[in-house]
Structure 1
Amino acid sequence: MGPRRIVCLTEEPTETLYLLGEQDRIVGISGFTVRPTEARRDKPKVSAFTSAKVDKILALKPDLAIGFSDIQADIAQALIKAGVEVWISNHRSVEGILEYIRRLGAMVGVADKADKLAATLERGLDETREASALLLRRPRVYFEEWDEPMISGIRWVSELVGIAGGDDVLPGRAVQSLARDRIIADAQEVIDTAPDIIIGSWCGKRFRPEQVAARPGWENVPAVRDGQLYEVKSPLILQPGPAALTDGLAELRRIIHGWAVR
């Protein structure tokens, strides 16, 4: 039932299908996939995030390609023109991630398993919310997705910061779905929010806290002054799939709860 030969253009459909026990449907994955490790080992890599090997994808004879966001519009167009059915999801919130899991499960004929997976993830979110509600103080958190230019965290990250017991210092930017609308042209915008914690997740490269601390005018930012700069690896938090709601949230909780009991 449902598509039998799926190409996953990003990591989250791959991780989700493995968690649902439907990994045999996957015939190709993104080269950026790191979860689960067996997918990276066993499945052909046919795409990056903004580009794809269309001929290699077509050779796999997929009956569905799954991608994410407007950034993959050109890949989707090329595949559609070649006769491949394409699903591009565009979810940007925690609730959207849960609904994505349910929809993907329904598409491959395992709606019940997908509902159970989503329910398990929701219970994990609720447990962290309850634990965070017991904190005596909530830190102000600046989450940075990229450094040059500075880009603040997307909506699901902002929501997870809140669930983990912190307050995103730039919630107005978080609701902007496009990265270009989260570019911080003037660093003073962050300085003025006086974050207690700075978390970096520079997609594709290692976060350098010493570089952030050395930015002009940042020496009096509470997070810099107190040495509260941390990295959460991008595969754990910047993919809108199960990892963000599990390992990504766990990292945020560790950092924020650690600050709260200092």
Structure 2
Amino acid sequence: MAELRIVSLIPSATEIVAALGLVDCLVGRSHECDAPPAVESLPVCTAPNLDPQGSSREIHDRVEDLLQAALSIYRIDLEQLEQLRPTHVITQAQCDVCAVSLSEVEDAVAQLTNHSPQIISLQPQILGDVWQDIRRVAAALGVDATPLLSALQARLDVCQNRTYASRPGVACIEWTDPLMAAGNWVPELVEIAGGKNLLGQTGQHSPWLTWDALVAANPDVMVLMPCGFDLEQTRRAAQDMIQHPHWGKLKAVQAQQVFLADGNQYFNRPGPRLVDSAELLCEIFHPEPVSVYGGQGWERL
């Protein structure tokens, strides 16, 4: 087999490649790829066209301004891509806000003068799509995905097969200002972890949400998991939510059942760590004396 030279332009794909045992074949990454730690030394092939720092509302407004002007949110370093001479470029067509779009990658690859890498595009909507993407990546790279997928499914089965005394009603919030409920695979993760998902639909893009709708759902548990935010950024976003006049009406708030999660490292990376995300939710919904993810992946507000 010819030498593999893989450029991954989305964090979940980087983690899939690493989980398949091919981390040493990665030669380039996106500006957001940070796991496993070994990839942080790789050349960076993308950059944002906006300032990613600020409040939820400020970031939202910057994204909207770019989209309304028909401008790209990210840019590809074509010169870097040319120098890396990849055999494969892995990207996504799931969300143009989260990473470079498939069309942008296709345009960039078409401009390369000395090689023509294979483009692998991921577009998962549900957990089953994520597992199928792992199979497709593995097949394109000439390895067997079965051991990895079997191990991931075994861990999910542990969560799903537990007996729970109750199933709390859960609201997962993917953006805080404006409000957005978590869709796609997150409702499945909630159900696997022993909760009852109240907002957002499996396999559907995350929907915008009004405060009136959140109050009407009145969740027993609320998990804030803003896309792209780590725990510190989520803490700041939560402080803005607390100021809303409807905040105190929520059952989860009154019962001190509001939790912050690292949405960047877990729920918004459709790869192997979605299993970690299910396990993390298990810890929140059904506390045990020992926590694996507490303090690192989640904390109580």
Partner of 2:33: 33
Residues 51, 145 of structure 1: alpha-carbon distance in 2 compared, 3 angstrom cutoff: farther
> Which structure 2 residue ranges, 5 or more long, are not aligned?
49-73, 289-301
2:234 is aligned with 1:207 = yes
Of 131, 138, 141, which residue of structure 2 is paired with 1:108?
A: 141
Higher fraction of helix: 1
Deviates more, 1:190-199 or 1:214-223: 214-223
Partner of 2:183: 154
Q: Deviations over 1:181-218 (max 9, x none)?
A: x112x211111001111111123332133332332222
SS in 2 for 1:250: helix
Aligned pairs for 1:51-200 (under 5 A) are 51-70=75-94, 71=96, 72-82=101-111, 83-111=116-144, 114-131=145-162, 134-172=163-201, 174-177=202-205, 179=206, 182-184=207-209, 186-200=210-224
Q: CA deviation at 1:89?
A: 1.0
Q: CA deviation at 1:157?
A: 1.3
Percent identical pairs in the alignment equals: 25
Q: CA deviation at 1:57?
A: 1.5
Deviates more, 1:73-82 or 1:61-70: 73-82
8 Å Cα contact 1:10-1:66 kept in structure 2: yes
8 Å Cα contact 1:142-1:199 kept in structure 2: yes
> Which structure 1 residue ranges, 5 or more long, are not aligned?
none
8 Å Cα contact 2:8-2:26 kept in structure 1: yes
8 Å Cα contact 1:144-1:202 kept in structure 2: yes
Distance 1:2 1:121 in 2: 29
8 Å Cα contact 2:45-2:77 kept in structure 1: yes
8 Å Cα contact 1:27-1:60 kept in structure 2: yes
8 Å Cα contact 2:152-2:275 kept in structure 1: yes
SS in 2 for 1:88: strand
Q: CA deviation at 1:166?
A: 0.7
Count of paired positions: 248
Q: CA deviation at 1:122?
A: 0.5
8 Å Cα contact 1:2-1:108 kept in structure 2: no
Q: Partner amino acid for 2:255?
A: D
Partner of 1:241: 271
Partner of 1:19: 19
Q: Partner amino acid for 2:208?
A: I
TM-score, normalised to structure 1's length? 0.87
SS in 2 for 1:236: coil
Task: Identify which of structures 1 and 2 has the higher relative contact order when contacts are C-alpha pairs closer than 8 Å and 6+ apart.
Answer: 1
8 Å Cα contact 2:223-2:258 kept in structure 1: yes
Residues 108, 77 of structure 1: alpha-carbon distance in 2 compared, 3 angstrom cutoff: closer
Q: CA deviation at 1:48?
A: 4.3
Distance 1:54 1:151 in 2: 34
Distance 2:104 2:248 in 1: 43
Distance 2:141 2:103 in 1: 25
TM-score, normalised to structure 2's length? 0.77
Distance 1:192 1:58 in 2: 53
Q: CA deviation at 1:19?
A: 1.7
